[in-house]
Structure 1
């Protein structure tokens, strides 16, 4: 407490008023930190300088950790997901059955193998898009859908390709579908009932000629094979050894002329060695025993 002067009246001593802060110092502090940082610092009792330094340290620490770990964060998340899937599998959410829909007996084994599924694996951990893509790589399959049926079943619904013919080329036989795609899993020996097409390009062109033949039962029952010539036109090899030569263009018109000729004279039953339909104006035929020039039939009459 301040002392009093002796012999004088006792007077209270007033404390000195503090000097107001210098304007230059206030301006310097405001420029050093952003207003939001100042408010945040005041809210927790920190000075602006300390708050700014702490924020910078946290940013630097985060960048350092990210650079040091690389992909470890993603790996950690993957491990956590795998652990969660395993917990669900223990609770009964695991693959116990696979139901195939739309698959023939011949295709079932190949489709099941393509799924890569094993009994007991976590059903939530399956990548359904990857399973579908794998199934659609099987030659039998045109398209597929894969559905989870909880808690323990997977449904694989497929649309199979329509087998069209057995294709012989370069000493090999393969089964092809209606679009000319080879089905490598299909055993040609198990498809003896399919038409036979022979030669380079016959696989892609078969989709046009075979339906035209199939629509003519009297012709279809006599054809042994359709032979592609120079990948431009067809020869129809008959079971009795005869040959029907079709033009490179206008195959349907040529077959109509053959229909008319067969209706009138049963030419398919007469056993000609060759029936040449390549000329649109006439049909040339060669008898089996003849060694001379072929006979000509004008305009198919």
Structure 2
């Protein structure tokens, strides 16, 4: 019996083992790292970016429209449409005007180029009104369909300012209200001289020290931009020293002397108190006043001298 040898097939050669590929490290940019660190989601950031871009584009379009006049044209067409609908300025109602010329207010309020209620520049009208001396404050508003309401706070005249041969009404702060003539000037104190209107509040403080003399005052002159000369209704002039404190002290002293010796109304021309150490009287000469008035002035001077000696 013959034996058969079975040959085994050779095993296929082993392939060398593949070395595992190294994974590439994905490098994250700094910007991505910063975004990932934010407490909001990327989707939210994307929406914010989209809105920012949209707003920026809208702003650029608006600037371009304004520069090319498109915006002005649109506003003009809108104002005209409002006017055609009946909303157009036809009346002006003035509130609070007593001394002021109402026609002046009407002229200012109706000086608008465009009468459409939508186009009226309320702040512009107010600014024009504030240039008018009589007006201390003003408020302008619309009353649909066709009325502008002008609410005015007037200034109160406090004195008359004489300067360079012109007379003007002024308020307590020295604001010029309007020119006046000798025939139309009201019964108010007269302040004379350059910048005297700006010193009217100083004069009020000065007269507060001698209220008994305030009603007797006819006017005051601001002399040399440094001191006051007061003129009384009875014709006398009182020259006060420089400096507010010194002037107040001198005026209070004069009020006391007038109360004790009745100096005003007795024919004396001038009382000079510019030198605090002296009180000088200027009497009229013979022929300037009636003899009785001259004697009265001399009697007043003698009484004042005697009073000064007794006090000394």
TM-score clears 0.5: yes
Tell me what 1:272 maps to: 268
Say whether residues 1:252 and 2:248 are aligned partners.
yes
Give the counterpart of 2:120 among 126, 129, 133: 126
Tell me what 2:91 maps to: 97
TM-score (norm 1): 0.66
Residue pair 1:258, 1:300 contacting (<8 A) in 2 also: no
Q: CA RMSD in A?
A: 3.4
How far apart, CA to CA, are the structure 2 residues paired with 1:119 and 1:81?
A: 14
Shift of 1:149: 1.5
Moved over 6 A (4+): 70-73
Tell me what 1:23 maps to: none
Give the counterpart of 2:167 among 157, 170, 173: 173
**Could you say if the C-alpha distance between residues 242 and 145 of structure 1 is closer, same or farther in structure 2, counting changes exceeding 3 Å?**
same
Could you tell me which runs of 5 or more consecutive residues in structure 1 were left unpaired when the two chains were aligned. 1-61
Q: How does 1:1-301 map to 2 (within 5 A)?
A: 74-117=68-111, 121-183=115-177, 185-189=178-182, 190-210=184-204, 212-213=206-207, 219-249=213-243, 250-289=246-285, 298=308
SS where residue 267 of structure 1 aligns? Answer: coil
Deviations 1:85-124 (A, max 9, x none): 2222222211122111222243322222222347992111
Shift of 1:201: 2.2
Deviations 1:228-283 (A, max 9, x none): 11111111123443211111122222121112111211111322122122233453
Shift of 1:173: 2.0
**Could you say if the C-alpha distance between residues 112 and 186 of structure 1 is closer, same or farther in structure 2, counting changes exceeding 3 Å?**
farther
How far apart, CA to CA, are the structure 1 residues paired with 2:199 and 2:86?
A: 52
Shift of 1:73: 6.4
